[in-house]
Amino acid sequence: MSLRRDLAEHGFESNDDYEFQVRSLLAAQVEHLRCLQIAGDSGRRKTALANALAHALKYPRILYLDFTQPEPALPVIALSAEESSTGANENPMSAFERIVIEACAFSEAEPTVLILDQLQAADFREQIRLFHFVQSGDWHASSGSVRAHQRQLLIVLISEQALYHSLAHLAYRVWADPSSGRFEHRPEDFGRGLDAREMFAAFAQLFEQLHATPTPSEFQRLLDDAERYVRTPEQLRHSIFGWMERIDRAQLFSPALTSPIEQCVHAINNYVGVDEIELGD
């Protein structure tokens, strides 16, 4: 629970506390560099989890590289004939090489996280180089070789496509899904009394049909809407779509959900004390 709270404070709110996954990753007896792969649907929630986790675990040094970003322009340096003849005009290091060397250097002094994002945009040869680096802890570049501190460097991999098999084999994988898990919110967790149990039970049935669960802050906003504004099925649909990040709109507005939506609205109206009047002939 404390890790879930820390993750939320650093920008990633989820119904999964990730306690078990993180403990498994950090306690594993491995002979290579510790490596975490964050999987999930396309989008930036994987990046949000990586950054939030690095801050929540209080790593003093966090390095980040996005392979979809273009290489920064290098300054033009005029070389003398003597410098050119001695090889001073060798190709400069890439941003990838520079950040790996920095990660190795920083890891010698303090715990360091290296986040490598959008790996699908990297040349496949870079994934092979990365595999050898994770496996051995040694990084070889034209300027020389460096070594990472095995116990102080954590590498986080994010890719929208499958990783090189050998590299993926060395990584512990977690799934970034803020809406995972079952609806387990209780009235007392949100400052409501026992009279809210019917409404919470109706919400639970509805979200089970939707195969999605609101995070605590999302559900807090839904509760606020329910108590102040929501009085019809259409309004409830708009509120759910408006506040929940991961929701299938077509399913939410489909006739198949008419019954659980209406039951939820009925429970809301009972809770707030709204009388429902049926007009006869």
pLDDT in tens, 145-165: 999 999 999 999 999 999 999
**Buried-state track 112-122, b at ≥16 Cβ within 10 A, e below 16:** bbbbbbbbeeb
Half-sphere exposure at residue 179, Cβ-oriented, CA atoms within 13 angstroms: 16
pLDDT in tens, 1-56: 589 889 999 999 888 889 999 999 999 999 999 999 999 887 778 999 999 999 99
Q: What is the mean pLDDT of residues 53-60?
A: 97
Query: What 3-state class would DSSP assign to 19?
Result: helix
pLDDT of 78 > 70? The answer is: no
Give the per-residue pLDDT at 79.
Answer: 57
pLDDT at 205: 95
Helical H segments across 57-147, by residue range: 81-85, 95-107, 124-136
Name the pLDDT band for 80 (thresholds 50, 70, 90): low
According to the model, what pLDDT value does residue 279 have? 47
Residue among 128, 129, 130 at smallest CA distance from 116: 130
Whole-number pLDDT of residue 44? 79
Q: Give the angle 100-104-110 at the CA atoms, nearest 5°.
A: 130
Beta carbons within 10 angstroms of residue 210's beta carbon: 21
193: nearest Cα among 232, 236, 227: 227
pLDDT digits (tens, 9 = 90+) for 93-136: 899 999 999 999 999 999 999 999 999 999 999 999 999 999 99
Count of C-beta atoms within a 10 Å radius of residue 27 = 7
pTM of the model: 0.77
154 within 8 A of 148, measured Cβ to Cβ: no
Tell me the residue length of the chain.
Answer: 281
Measured over the CA atoms of residue 141, residue 144, residue 149 and residue 150, the dihedral's sign is positive
Distance between CA atoms of residues 194 and 280, nearest Å:
34
Across the range 192-219, mean pLDDT stands at 94
Nearest CA-CA partner of 252 in 243, 54, 49, 123: 243
